[in-house]
């Protein structure tokens, strides 16, 4: 890494491809749909401080990410532009990458490791998933990464501490306002414990007032919205708080080793390096205390997450930051191909990535056999796979990680357009057509049962839940009612007429209205 301009261009290109390119392709999930529905209703009703989702109070999550999403919708002029809706999450991903670079460089003192940490972060599986879906996790953990970097700068500086304590307080408050104290418990506390293990408590004692004031100010700022909600709707606030706390112990319970079986989400193709990095410091004596800080931080995050009964793969996102840094350290320790550890780690890594490149090239030629523009891409992927595998066989793995990152970016660029051919179209995007049907405009939507959030978002309006026995009561307003069902309506409701049937990969929806003479 000699030429700084080339490095900057390479990193910026990789980040753009991994974060923003074709960001409208991943399917919308229920969490993302909840954010979009709430943002839309904020703009419709002006309910910024007491937001709603499908007409019901939505106070389970702090509203900062939804406010930002609403502003993106204002900029786009619609809530239906998925590319624009996901830009805030992408910006958060770019900031997370920046803070990871600053933190890795500050502690390790190595720009090479810091740059590699960012590139590994950008090509990690969970990071790629998170920055392409506008949900709360990327906001809160991005801000906490910034808070930890700012605090580390304050601890390690002799002058100019106040600015970084102020930044620490701001990012901490941002994190709290994005998803409550989640990141504080699973990311900040493990870091502080790791810091004390490696450096002792001297830094805490010397900076106790800056740390205390920073935490106090962030808590005061972050608690203003929950306090406002409690003052205006205390019963709802207490009920939601109780439900959220109960979910930790009763909802989506998994075994304690659940996250150990899902570590591939943290690092993706870099898994062998991550596993090496978590074991080597306890066997080899040449790991510095700065390197061990990240290892302890990563392990403590996994332990804390494993203790909490409720488990989801996306909850691993805070582990991605230290995981990327220790993976980069492992890459640099093993890139000279002489040792047994290097062969054991690089072997599976090189062959898996090589096979992925060959598979990508084959997919391009299979799905676009007569498209001349795809042939250079297929050839480039094939060459990349050959280079990666041959470098390992010839024991020339010093720059293999850069070749892998370039190949990953090339895969994202070339394979993304294949998605409509490889999988069925996004069901939510297919349902967006409901907004454009002339005879449905201005009508009230009702759903037999509980509608999925994706359906509510796609409909572009509130979708009220009803039971079959309530259908006759809608006849008084028959011209304005549309009834949606996942199963054909029973014959006893002869006053209904079928408007349309919409079939997607996940749903078959039947849409009815009342007969004009019914």
* Helix 317-334 vs helix 87-108: crossing angle, to nearest 10: 50
The C-alpha atoms of residue 203 and residue 458 are separated, in whole angstroms, by: 52
What's the predicted TM-score (pTM) here? 0.92
Looking at residue 367, its pLDDT comes to: 73
Of the candidates 98, 317, 65, which has an alpha carbon nearest to the alpha carbon of residue 186? 317
The C-alpha atoms of residue 456 and residue 512 are separated, in whole angstroms, by: 17
State whether 415 and 431 are in the same domain: no
State whether 283 and 371 are in the same domain: no
- The single residue listed with the structure tokens 């307080």 is 169
SS3 content of the chain, % helix, strand, coil (to 5): 70, 5, 25
List the domain range (segments joined by +) for residue 496. 427-514
User: How would you classify the pairing of strands 463-466 and 52-53?
Assistant: unpaired
State whether 292 and 350 are in the same domain: no
Q: Are 38 and 51 in contact (CB under 8 A)?
A: yes
* Helix 111-122 vs helix 317-334: crossing angle, to nearest 10: 130
Altogether, the residues listed in the chain come to a count of 518
Question: What is the number of structural domains in the chain?
Answer: 3
Looking at residue 518, its pLDDT comes to: 46
Of the candidates 183, 180, 185, 184, which has an alpha carbon nearest to the alpha carbon of residue 223? 180
Q: Are 37 and 53 in contact (CB under 8 A)?
A: yes
DSSP 8-class letter at 281: G
Domain stops at, among 383, 401, 422:
422
What's the token pair of residue 44? Answer: 């419709």
Can you tell me whether residue 53 is helix, strand or coil? strand
φ/ψ (deg, to 5) at 169: -65, -45
Q: Are 471 and 483 in contact (CB under 8 A)?
A: yes
137-146 pLDDT per residue, tens: 999 999 999 9
Q: Are 99 and 118 in contact (CB under 8 A)?
A: no
The C-alpha atoms of residue 25 and residue 274 are separated, in whole angstroms, by: 28
DSSP 8-class letter at 27: P
Those residues of the chain that have pLDDT short of 50 are 1, 423, 518
The C-alpha atoms of residue 469 and residue 453 are separated, in whole angstroms, by: 23
- The single residue listed with the structure tokens 């990953």 is 408
The C-alpha atoms of residue 190 and residue 300 are separated, in whole angstroms, by: 6
State whether 384 and 437 are in the same domain: no
Domain stops at, among 364, 387, 422:
422
- Rounded to 10 degrees, the C-alpha dihedral 460/462/463/467 comes to -170
Domain of 441, CATH number, reads 3.40.190
Can you tell me whether residue 345 is helix, strand or coil? helix
Q: What angle do CA 425, 88, 422 make, to 5 degrees?
A: 20
State whether 88 and 230 are in the same domain: yes
State whether 220 and 280 are in the same domain: yes
Query: Could you tell me which residues are beta bridge partners of residue 510?
Result: 485, 501
The C-alpha atoms of residue 297 and residue 209 are separated, in whole angstroms, by: 24
Say how far residue 409 (Cα) sits from the centre of its chain: 18
Sign, CA dihedral 300-303-307-310, equals: positive
| Cβ atoms < 10 Å from Cβ of 376 | 11
**C-alpha distances in Å from residue 191, one per residue of 16, 53, 80, 151, 205:** 29, 35, 39, 11, 16
Domain stops at, among 390, 422, 454:
422
**C-alpha distances in Å from residue 4, one per residue of 8, 9, 11:** 6, 9, 11
Looking at residue 1, its pLDDT comes to: 46
426-449 pLDDT per residue, tens: 667 777 877 777 777 778 889 988
Question: Which conformational region is residue 495 in: left (phi greater than 0), alpha (psi within -120 to 50 degrees), or beta?
Answer: alpha
State whether 326 and 351 are in the same domain: no
State whether 211 and 344 are in the same domain: no
| Strand blocks (E) in 351-430 | none
Helix H or strand E segment including 351:
helix 340-367
State whether 407 and 462 are in the same domain: no
State whether 278 and 406 are in the same domain: no
**C-alpha distances in Å from residue 255, one per residue of 7, 238, 258, 305:** 43, 29, 5, 11
State whether 349 and 452 are in the same domain: no
DSSP 8-class letter at 20: T
The C-alpha atoms of residue 79 and residue 43 are separated, in whole angstroms, by: 10
State whether 411 and 431 are in the same domain: no
Of the candidates 245, 247, 248, which has an alpha carbon nearest to the alpha carbon of residue 305? 248
Question: Which conformational region is residue 268 in: left (phi greater than 0), alpha (psi within -120 to 50 degrees), or beta?
Answer: left
What's the token pair of residue 140? Answer: 């809160």
| Strand blocks (E) in 344-391 | none
């Amino acid at each position: 890494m000699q030429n700084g301009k080339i490095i900057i261009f390479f990193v910026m290109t990789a980040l753009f491809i991994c974060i923003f390119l074709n960001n409208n392709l991943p399917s919308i999930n229920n969490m993302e749909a909840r954010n979009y529905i709430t943002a839309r209703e904020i703009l419709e009703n002006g309910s910024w401080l007491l937001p709603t989702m499908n007409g019901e109070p939505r106070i389970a999550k702090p509203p900062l990410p939804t406010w930002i999403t609403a502003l993106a919708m204002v900029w786009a002029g619609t809530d239906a532009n998925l590319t624009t809706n996901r830009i805030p999450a992408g910006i958060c991903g770019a900031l997370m990458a920046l803070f990871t670079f600053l933190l890795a460089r500050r502690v390790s003192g190595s720009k090479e490791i810091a740059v590699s940490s960012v590139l590994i972060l950008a090509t990690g599986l969970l990071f790629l998933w998170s920055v392409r879906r506008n949900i709360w996790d990327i906001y809160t953990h991005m801000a906490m990464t910034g808070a930890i970097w700012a605090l580390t700068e304050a601890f390690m500086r002799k002058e100019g501490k106040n600015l970084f304590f102020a930044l620490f307080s701001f990012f901490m408050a941002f994190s709290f306002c994005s998803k409550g104290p989640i990141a504080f418990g699973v990311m900040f506390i493990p870091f502080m414990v790791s810091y004390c293990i490696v450096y002792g408590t001297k830094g805490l004692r010397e900076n106790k007032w800056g740390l205390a004031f920073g935490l106090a100010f962030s808590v005061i700022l972050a608690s203003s919205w929950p306090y406002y909600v409690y003052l205006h709707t205390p019963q709802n606030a207490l009920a939601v708080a109780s439900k959220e706390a109960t979910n930790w112990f009763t909802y989506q319970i998994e075994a304690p080793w659940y996250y150990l079986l899902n570590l591939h989400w943290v690092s993706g193709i870099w898994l062998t390096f991550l596993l090496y990095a978590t074991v080597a410091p306890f066997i080899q004596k040449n790991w510095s205390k700065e390197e061990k800080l990240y290892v302890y931080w990563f392990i403590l995050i996994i332990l804390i997450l494993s203790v909490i009964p409720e488990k989801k793969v996306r909850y691993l996102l805070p582990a991605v930051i230290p995981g990327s840094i220790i993976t980069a350290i492992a890459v640099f320790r093993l890139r000279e191909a002489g040792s047994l550890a290097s062969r054991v780690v690089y072997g599976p890594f090189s062959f898996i990535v090589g096979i992925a490149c060959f598979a990508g090239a084959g997919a391009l030629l299979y799905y676009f056999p007569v498209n001349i523009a795809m042939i250079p891409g297929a050839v480039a992927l094939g060459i990349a796979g050959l280079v990666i595998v041959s470098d390992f066989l010839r024991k020339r793995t010093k720059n293999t990680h850069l070749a892998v990152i370039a190949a990953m970016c090339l895969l994202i660029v070339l394979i993304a357009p294949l998605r409509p051919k490889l999988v069925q179209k996004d069901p939510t995007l297919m349902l967006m057509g409901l907004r454009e049907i002339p005879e449905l405009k201005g009508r009230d939507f009702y759903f037999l049962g509980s509608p999925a959030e994706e359906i509510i978002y796609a409909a572009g309006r509130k979708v009220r839940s009803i039971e079959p026995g309530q259908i006759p009561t809608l006849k008084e307003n028959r011209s304005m009612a549309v009834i949606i069902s996942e199963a054909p309506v029973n014959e006893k409701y002869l006053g209904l007429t079928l408007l349309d049937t919409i079939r997607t990969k996940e749903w078959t929806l039947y849409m009815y209205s009342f007969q004009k003479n019914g």
